[in-house]
């Protein structure tokens, strides 16, 4: 609706202003001063009406003033319409009145707009009667056409308005469905993240105890269980940055393996969710070494090139055939690969039977 109002005010200002500029040259020389005064008044009023009409300030006062000006223009046709002009339909006054009546249809409610068009038609007919009392009937067809134009404009505007509202409703439904889909995706992502954390913490610790049993010192198990509980209870942070090296060292320090670290230079800070994914990937890779490699040591290397952080976890243990991993044994795929992908990174697993395994983590990955 606001677009219709702006369009109505603009097209009205252009048409009425053009008519006012072209009117004086058509008048006889002796009548030109009066015609120039009328045209100048209409130009000034068009500017004022456009100024206040587009801002929507004091609409009732603006309408009252507009009707007063247009009524004066209609009744004063003798001052601005040449006496030799016998066709009422070709007068600039009728063109100006017509565009004003049509613009009303886009600005005001339908009953009021049609009533205003009827008033302007009556004012224009009254002006034609004053201008030529003996032959005013010539103006009737054109006055009737003014009413038809206004009715057509009102109908077309209502049709466009109804179509636009239907389109807006459809767009709103689509947006709501999209938001619902995004919320559902976020919920599923959160569920996957929680399941990955559960797999990486409590489940992995219990499995490690079951496989290695008494070979793991009790204090190591207690410390690992406490750390698992902290991770499960912690609120997920999605903003800010963290120290990459500090987070990785903290994760490695709680692992029962003998881990050699090779950090090239300063790793700096990175987006917190990405650092969490890197730390979680290192933790899962080390747990897989402890559970499946047959060795008690591993190497963690980390380096930074520009914005990209690369971390590798490698061992020289038994290795495995990636293609033959059962569907229910997908810890690396679920806990590492998907977690890195979710934050815009990448994880890959390279392993050969009898030659060890290397897990490579990269963030960001372009």
- CATH number of the domain within which 337 lies: 3.30.565.10
Burial of 318 (0-12, 13-18, 19+ CB in 10 A): middle
Among residues 124, 141, 171, which one ends one of the domains? 171
Q: How many CB atoms sit inside 10 A of residue 98's CB?
A: 24
**pLDDT, tens digit, 9 for 90 and up, residues 138-164:** 677 878 888 888 889 888 888 887 887
Residue 79 lies in a domain: yes
Q: Which domain holds residue 25?
A: 2-171
Judgement on whether residues 30 and 152 belong to the same structural domain of the protein: yes
Are 15 and 96 within 8 A, CB to CB?
Answer: yes
Please check whether residue 188 lies inside any domain of the structure: no
Residues 140, 264 share a domain:
no
Say if residue 163 is in the same domain as residue 22: yes
Last-in-domain residue among 118, 148, 171: 171
Sheet containing 297-305: which strands, arranged edge to edge?
Answer: 258-264, 297-305, 308-315, 356-363, 346-352
- Bridge-based pairing of strands 346-352 and 297-305 is unpaired
Calpha distance 5→276 (Å, rounded)? 54
Alpha helices per DSSP H over the chain: 2-22, 32-53, 59-75, 77-80, 92-107, 110-131, 140-198, 204-212, 218-233, 244-253, 272-288, 331, 338-342
Q: In 3D, which of 148, 128, 144, 129 has the Cα closest to residue 88?
A: 128
Is residue 209 domain-resident? no
Are 244 and 152 in the same domain? no
Q: Do 13 and 133 belong together in one domain?
A: yes
Residues 161 and 241 in one domain: no
**Structure tokens belonging to residue 166:** 């239907």
Provide the token pair at 147: 């009413």
Give me the pLDDT at residue 163, please: 82
Is 19 in the same domain as 164?
A: yes
Residue 79: what pLDDT? 81
For residues 153 and 159, give the distance between their C-alpha atoms in angstroms, rounded to a whole number: 10
Q: Are residues 44 and 151 part of one domain? A: yes
Q: How high is the pLDDT of residue 183?
A: 46
- The residue whose two tokens read 């046709």 is 77
Q: What is the pLDDT of residue 87?
A: 55
141 and 252 belong to one structural domain: no
pLDDT at 64: 92
Is-contact 288 332, C-beta < 8 A?
yes
pLDDT score, position 6:
78
pLDDT at 26: 74
Q: Flag whether 326 is in a domain.
A: yes
CA atoms of 343 and 274, how far apart (whole Å) = 6
Q: Do 125 and 259 reside in the same domain of the chain?
A: no
The DSSP result for 280-313, as a single string, is: HHHHHHHHHIIIIIS-SEEEEEEEEETTEEEEEE
What stretches in the chain show pLDDT beneath 50?
183, 235
Q: Could you give the CA distance from residue 321 to residue 259 in angstroms, rounded to a whole number?
A: 24
205, 225 contact by CB (below 8 A): yes
Q: Please tell me the total count of domains within the chain.
A: 2
For residue 260, being part of any structural domain is answered with: yes
In a domain, residue 177? The reply is no
**Same domain (yes/no): 105, 244:** no
| 122 plus 244 within the same structural domain | no
Alpha-carbon gap, residue 358 to 366, rounded angstroms: 21
Nearest-CA neighbor of 314 among 269, 268, 275, 351?
351
Residue 166 resides in a domain: yes
Q: Choose one of 116, 148, 171: the last residue of a domain.
A: 171
Q: Rounded to an integer, what distance in angstroms lies between the CA atom of residue 77 and that of residue 47?
A: 21
Does residue 207 belong to any structural domain of this protein?
no
């Amino acid at each position: 609706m606001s677009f219709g109002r702006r369009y109505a005010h603009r097209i009205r200002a252009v048409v009425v202003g053009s008519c006012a500029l072209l009117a004086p040259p058509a008048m006889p020389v002796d009548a030109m001063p009066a015609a120039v005064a009328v045209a100048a008044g209409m130009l000034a009023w068009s500017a004022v009406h456009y100024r206040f009409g587009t801002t929507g300030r004091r609409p009732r006062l603006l309408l009252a003033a507009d009707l007063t000006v247009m009524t004066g223009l209609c009744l004063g046709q003798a001052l601005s319409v040449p006496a030799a002009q016998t066709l009422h339909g070709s007068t600039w006054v009728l063109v100006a009145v017509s565009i004003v009546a049509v613009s009303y249809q886009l600005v005001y409610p339908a009953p009021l707009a049609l009533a205003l068009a009827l008033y302007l038609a009556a004012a224009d007919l009254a002006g034609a009667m004053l201008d030529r009392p003996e032959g005013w009937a010539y103006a009737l067809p054109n006055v009737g056409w003014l009413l038809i134009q206004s009715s057509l404009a009102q109908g077309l505007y209502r049709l466009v308005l109804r179509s636009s509202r239907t389109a807006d409703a459809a767009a709103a439904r689509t947006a709501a469905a999209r938001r619902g889909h995004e919320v559902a995706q976020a919920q599923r992502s959160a569920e996957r993240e929680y399941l990955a954390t559960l797999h990486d913490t409590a489940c992995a610790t219990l499995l490690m105890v079951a496989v290695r049993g008494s070979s793991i010192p009790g204090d190591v198990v207690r410390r690992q269980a406490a750390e698992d509980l902290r991770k499960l209870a912690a609120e997920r942070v999605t903003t800010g940055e963290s120290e990459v090296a500090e987070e990785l060292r903290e994760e490695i320090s709680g692992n029962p393996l003998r881990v050699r670290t090779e950090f090239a230079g300063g790793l700096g800070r990175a987006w917190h969710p990405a650092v969490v994914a890197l730390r979680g990937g290192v933790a899962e890779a080390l747990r897989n070494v402890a559970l499946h490699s047959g060795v008690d040591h591993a190497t963690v290397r980390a380096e930074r090139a520009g914005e990209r952080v690369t971390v590798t976890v490698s061992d020289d243990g038994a290795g495995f055939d990636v293609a033959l991993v059962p569907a229910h044994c997908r810890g690396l795929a679920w806990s590492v690969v998907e977690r890195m992908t979710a934050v815009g990174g990448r994880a890959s697993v390279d392993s050969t039977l009898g030659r060890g395994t290397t897990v490579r983590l990269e963030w960001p990955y372009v």
